[in-house]
Amino acid sequence: MKKNSRPAVVSLKEFSSEFNDEQRKQIKKEIEYYDLLHSFKIARESRFITQEELARRSGVNRTTLSKIESGSRNATIDTLMRLAAAMKMRFEVRLY
């Protein structure tokens, strides 16, 4: 008879305890970047704009837009500014 084996479950706290400070900084940067991308997607969807329409308005290829929203492609500041302008939004970069 085959035993039911369950995958080991590790809490996020346990998992992250193995990271060094540099890894934690990198993870924080990645989270901030994905939050930014998610904000763009939410802004687009809340305005009932399709990716195709936003691509047309901004001049950014729809496939590129899809990859940016999913996080599989990095966006330049110029591209983010074009997307924001196409949604009648302002994109600001603040240095602290």
pTM of the model: 0.73
The predicted pLDDT at position 8 comes to 78
Domains and CATH numbers, the chain: 21-86 (1.10.260.40)
Residue recorded with tokens 């009932």: 48
The predicted pLDDT at position 77 comes to 93
Stretches in the chain below the pLDDT threshold 70: 1-7
Contacts 24+ apart (CB under 8 A), 85-92: 85/58, 86/54, 86/57, 86/58, 87/43, 87/44, 87/47, 87/49, 87/54, 87/57, 89/43
The predicted pLDDT at position 7 comes to 66
The predicted pLDDT at position 35 comes to 92
The predicted pLDDT at position 11 comes to 81
Query: How far is Cα 29 from Cα 71, in angstroms, rounded to an integer?
Result: 13
